[in-house]
Chain A
Amino acid sequence: MSTETTYKSGSNLEKILASGQFAFTGELGPPRGTNVNEVREKAQFLKGNVDSVNITDNQTAMVRMASWAASLILVQEGLEPNYQMVCRDRNRLAMQADILGSSALGIRNMLCLSGDHQKFGDHPDAKGVFDIDSIQLISMVKQMRDERTFLSGGDLHGSPKLFIGAASNPFADPFEWRVHRLAKKIEAGADFIQTQCIYNMEKFREFIRLANEEGLTDKIHILAGVTPMKSVGMAKYMKNKVPGMDVPDEIIKRLQGVEKNKVAQEGINIACEQIEEFKGMKGVHGVHLMAIEWEHKVPEIAAQAKVLPRPVFD
């Protein structure tokens, strides 16, 4: 690869995707307290096994350690964070301030999200901010990075170097809208996409086919979201209780079809078969593994999925 390449952020994730290699990212939820060791311990399972680690931002509207703070702990541990920011908890002033601070301290990837409604969390009566939405957040980060100005137009003294991510849920309805929404996120300035957990492969193939047809997959790197099922109960919960999640009955039947102590392994097998298909799927450039509270399983999943060793750049 040429050393002349100019990167937008210079993040490891950007380099991997720019080099055409198949990316493999992970996820880590910050603790509900000040226990730094919790973050460090989870991080050790991810180190060397993934290219970048999403650090969730008050996920499901439950208060946790700030995502920028947990991201910085990862930087100290020698991992690359993907700093998530939701629109629910801060207005445009706080967002821009956090973007500058996180970039100044070495964060290079950022995922822009609307955020789960506060109603789901531990402070359901909180005032939801939503000053701007996720698509507007993408375009604000891009403006700060590329035009070197604040949203208001004022000059920035030093612009944030961030690889800009966005989410996509191919399974929410209306289905036809999902490709348009992806196009909007590309137009707003997203560099990469991490999708919602995929279980309905048929529907996902159709989504990618449409995205390919529209030429969208040439403009953006898509990482397919994978979450291994730990149990039949989890599969049923995801199917029935999580909005926008599409879990076909075959998945539940397949998990039910094995002995109880082998259900988790079967969940991992399903995930690895999916990853194998994604590796050869036109328009998919990597996998985002969301092993929820299962970080210690990531080394074995990565090995079984044959995505190791991860590429290393100087």
Chain B
Amino acid sequence: MIVAKRKPFAEIKAMLKGYKKVLNVGCGTCVSVCLAGGEKEVTILNTEIEMTRRLDKEPIEIQGHTIERQCDREYLAELDSIIEEGNFDALMSMACGVGIQFLAERYPLIPTFPAVDTTGLAVNQAVGWYEERCRSCSQCVLGMTGGICPVTMCAKGLFNGPCGGTNKGSCEISNEQPCAWFMIYERLKGQNRLDSIKKLNAVRGWNDQIPRNLVQPGYKKPENSLK
């Protein structure tokens, strides 16, 4: 899932400075599961903002509304009437970077601010602990590397590791960081598949250097779409 972390409160407060009526929009999918931007987090943040602004003698009217997914028009549509009637002078989103942008795009005349920093595609290691596993590079090599991603997990994104910095199974950057290529080596050895990384991995083109657009086979963009 996509994971995110709430921005420091001072940064959120600075972004909202001068705005008097704000709608904070939560997202009920990924950021809700990773405890960053669901209904509960919207309520907590709104309370903090209200209290601080009251103490600063700059009161704010802040409402919260959490929809199922901010990356989907179908769900965003339910905000139309709320926003039309609410007369908000700013919107805030607690969704991932994708949701924030889709919200901003739908209401282009209202300033929209992010309340979270999106940190990646991660696994749920334990409650509150998420580990990045995928950089969505568009060219998956997991078949060659025994299911461990060198693009994400190797600090240098090497394709012919492990390098000389491997330190008792850890990466040279920290003892806390396992060396991805050490793990790849161990896993492939266990599968008797070391040949997979003994051969040279040639230079690859990076497919993530321009905005990517995906249209699945058998589908096409709607004709009236600008995008």
Contacts and interface: CB of A to CB of B under 8 A. Distances in A.
B172 A116 contact: yes
Interface residues of B, number: 27
Contact of A136 (B167, B168, B202): B202
A114 B156 contact: yes
Contacts of A131: 206
B18 interface: no
B172 A117 contact: yes
B210 interface: no
B173 A117 contact: yes
Interface string B141-165: 0000000000000011111111111
A87 B156 contact: yes
A167 B200 contact: no
Contacts of A184: 160, 198, 200
A168 B164 contact: yes
Interface residues on chain A, size class? 35 or more
Nearest to B154: A130
A270 interface: no
B203 interface: yes
Interface string A121-133: 0000000101111
Interface string B73-111: 000000000000000000000000000000000000000
Contact of A244 (B172, B173, B186): B172
B43 interface: no
A177 B161 CA distance: 10
B157 A114 contact: no
A114 B160 CA distance: 10
A88 B186 CA distance: 26
Given A128-B155, A128-B156, A151-B203, 6 more contacts: A88-B156, A114-B158, A115-B156, A117-B156, A139-B200, A172-B162
